[in-house]
Amino acid sequence: MLVLGIRYLNGFVAACEPEARQPGSERPEWPPHPARVFMALAAAHFQTGADPEERAALEWLESLPPPCLRAPEAVPRAVVTHYVPVNDKPGDKSKPPTAVIQSIPQLTRDRQPRSFVRAWLDEETVYLIWPEALPPEAQARALDQLCKKVTRVGHSMSLVQMWVAGPEEAGEPNWVPDESRGEHYLRVTTPGLLADLERRYNGSAVEAYAALLVEFEEAPDRKAKRAAQKRLEDEFGGEPPPQRRPQAPFYQGYARPARDEPKAEVAGTVFSPQLIVFRLERESSPYEALALRTVPAVVARWREALVSCCDDIPDSVREVVSGHDREGAPLQRPHLAFLPLAFVGHPHADGHLLGLAAALPRELGGDERRLVLRVLGRVGELKLGGLGVWRLERETTGRPPWNLRPEAWTAYPAGATHWSTVTPVSFDRHPKAKDRAEYHRQLAAMIGTACETVGLPRPREVIVTAVSAHLGAPPAHVFPRLPRKDGSERRQAHVILVFDEPVVGPVLIGAGRYRGYGVCRPVDAEAAV
């Protein structure tokens, strides 16, 4: 086993998620990407003489499979823009200086906006764990030597101490590579990454250019100065040699370690039970919390914001996010669905929104899943008009409130037999029967068909009711009705579903299942998990 320990000496991490760099949507990178740790090791290697044994150790390390991680919880800090002085330059009389250096008035110093993304850590130490790796003695020695040279992982403020740890020191990992259940997609190493970093840095050209600059500045006479200047023009065009930002383009899905799942296969829906959960935090609003009946407006705004962030995303993934094909017609295959996560099912529940969740299609491939998560990470706030502005913060803590846990809404992995709606089912079609008993039979049959549409077995019993079985959920008539194509409004009702065998959610049924309506929650969820 190989274990690398990283202690964050300031108690915080300063590193930005590479796919969330747009102003307003920056978020800290946590857990640390294994490739970022590798790049810190590579930087220490190149900056301290490029020892051949260290290089051999790094080439061995980059060939290993993605590691497991033991990482503490992190609390993001608010991103604040600072105006930072940049390099001095001669004053330009045609342009007023941003700031004058008092001691040297002929020099001015511009200040440019910079934002520093940070998160406080519950604990200061992180471990990268390769359970099956056993480095040869020479490489183990070189890795230990390299670790001692690493001073930061991420921004220069993110000071660390790094070492090769013992297996007993790390304990059990809390993040493991898992493409099918991935909650985070972290950059990982692949063979050839070290050589690519070396090419991008372009070290030999940088050193040659620096040497020529020194030769030019320290030339003893005009002839030597002109010769050095000519070489700078001939060899480099008078410009510094190009350096490209280091990149690690390969990603691996990571998830919490899976619990022991039941041997018998439990029926589920076309949606993955690994919900992507976001907390709703009040930014500026006349309301302390959003009521559950605001779901149509909130979900519609979230979806619009996500679609607007898909310009650089392949069409196939854009369709999954938008729910429409290239011609604008409704997509005929499962796509991204949105769930309101409300405070329900408790004696004091009032039904206010705690957060939102995105349910991805179960059959979505690993690359597409990562791209959908990238889009979800780009929307950091929702501007809801009269409802105010609300932040969306990804919920990845180990012990969130019960109603922000995916299993509270999916009963994963054991499943549940009894489910009830939290938001009403919007009818796919309207029964025509005038007899009340026949009307309810047709309605129950329609709900049963809606269950089969999302991959569930037909329920044994369907109870149509005006109120939810979950405390705190408003009656069906409180929710706005969804429009039909002809401009009329769809009917809606709460339902209780009883299945012969346990099923796993998310259970989303009816015409509004992709827009926050027809969201069912297991009645016996706490007993099931």
- What is the spatial distance between Cα 444 and Cα 462, in angstroms, rounded to a whole number? 6
Token pair in block for residue 53? 């044994």
What's CA 490's distance to the chain center, in Å?
Answer: 35
As averages over each run of 10 residues, the pLDDT of the chain (529 residues) reads 93 78 67 92 89 92 93 75 55 46 50 71 92 88 93 89 89 87 84 84 70 80 83 76 68 80 74 92 92 94 93 90 88 93 91 94 86 87 92 80 91 91 91 83 92 94 92 93 88 93 94 94 60
- Using CB atoms within 10 Å of the CB of residue 125, give its burial: 0 to 12 exposed, 13 to 18 middle, 19+ buried: middle
Q: Which amino acid is at 69?
A: L
Q: Which amino acid is at 517?
A: Y
Instruction: For the chain, list the domains and their CATH numbers.
Output: 2-80+116-198+247-255 (3.30.70.2660), 203-236 (no CATH), 276-528 (no CATH)
Q: What is the pLDDT of residue 526?
A: 42
Tell me the C-alpha to C-alpha distance, in Å, between residue 339 and each of 70, 390, 459, 489, 517. 30, 16, 22, 21, 8
Q: What is the pLDDT of residue 327?
A: 85
Q: What is the pLDDT of residue 242?
A: 64
Per-residue burial over 427-462, b if 16 or more Cβ lie within 10 Å, else e, is bbeebeeeeeeeeeebbbebbbebbeebebeebeeb
Q: What is the pLDDT of residue 245?
A: 64
Q: What is the pLDDT of residue 97?
A: 45
- The model's pTM is 0.68
Q: What is the pLDDT of residue 171?
A: 87
